Structure 1
Amino acid sequence: MKIVPIAALGFALASLAACGSNNTPQEQQADNIEVNAETTADNLEEAADDAANEAVEDNLEDKADATRATGEKAADATRSGADLDGNSAN
């Protein structure tokens, strides 16, 4: 595994921790979902750059886009599923 994605994840998690304690558990979970999706998508794009042919590259880039979209959707669902008191409405 390459160092860059690991370092990027570390910086992302550090920046999330620095956001303050105002985040609810649901917001923290949603942020983690987004970070994980972004890291996975970045790894897919990196693999696409090293692909043997254009079809494999296109497939990996499509998977990266789908991963980002799914992560955003899941994070949004996590955020909107929170009650005013911070408990999950689902």
Structure 2
Amino acid sequence: MNARNALIALMMALGLTLAGCSDNDNQGPAEETGEQIDESMEEKGDEIEEATDEMGDEIDKMGDEVDEENNY
């Protein structure tokens, strides 16, 4: 009987493992909200990166102008 119980336990564990790994497109509301938050954060991060790049370019231009005025 011990072998039979072990086999039943193994089959149940395998079934639960496969059920937990199913890849269905039916997401719950929490997962959908999480994905929306991730996308928003990524978009905002890209916008911030672009803005800092533009500010860096402007600072470089201002530095060049100061150098020209001081005849460097």
Structure 2 length-normalised TM: 0.43
By relative contact order (CA 8 Å, sep 6+), the higher-ranking structure is 1
Query: Which entry has the higher C-alpha Rg, 1 or 2?
Result: 2
Give TM-score, length-normalised by structure 1.
Answer: 0.35
Structure 1 or 2: larger helix share? Answer: 2
